[in-house]
A and B are shown apart, each in its own frame.
Chain A
């Protein structure tokens, strides 16, 4: 069965890169453009793993992660944070919010798939 990935990113460029990379690697991909939309589609999407950006309008990655972790049904879903920020402060905030892991942009496809494989069965 195909693994389902929910990606949340406001950049059309990154969304497309994620889409191409994930589809090529045989994942089913659902995309949202910000945290608010991410939480909206979460219910119907039932993802195996979530990949999210941090800096987004309306609801940023931290808020989105907290939202997922508060969700009774989806709180256990692994969440990977996709960000250019590799500094400890951002990572820590993401972790405090409940992120499972992170991928530092610019990501290469192998790195992304790798990280997803690491947190999914």
Chain B
């Protein structure tokens, strides 16, 4: 774990995380590589699996980079979807119990 990380970047997710948003989100995340990121999921009204895939892939990429990647203030809808598809809404990894 890097100790002298820069101020974490922040990304607010769109309310609708559908098929169209997946590419947009992917693009945004690609441009944020290399620094810590906090994902604000408080506005999410609807989340789809494809955006979840992008987020999970991003979480892995950030982990590989040794940067932190955290979801904060997830909306109810975001939480529910994450639960339904078996993904930890905070860590963005397949939920292991």
Q: Is B94 an interface residue (CB 8 A)?
A: no
Tell me if B46 is interfacial: C-beta within 8 Å of chain A.
yes
Q: How many A residues, CB 8 Å from partner?
A: 5
- How many A-B contacts if CB must be within 8 Å? 10
B22 — nearest CB in chain A belongs to which residue? Answer: A76
| B20 interface residue per 8 A CB criterion | yes
| 8 Å CB interface, A58-93 against B | 72-73, 75-76
Query: Which of A73, A75, A76 has the largest count of B CB atoms less than 10 A from its CB?
Result: A76
The residue on A at minimum CB distance from B77 is A121
Report the Cα distance A73→B21, complex, angstroms. 10
Please, how many angstroms separate the alpha-carbon atoms of A75 and B20 in the complex? 8
What is the CA–CA distance of A29 and B46 in the complex, to the nearest angstrom?
21
User: Is B18 on the interface with A (CB-CB < 8 A)?
Assistant: yes
Closest residue of chain B to A74 (Cβ to Cβ) is B20
B:58-97 near A, CB below 8 Å = 77
The minimal Cβ–Cβ distance linking A77 to chain B, given in whole angstroms, is 9
Establish whether residues B20 and A121, one from each chain, have CB atoms under 8 Å apart when the complex forms. Answer: no
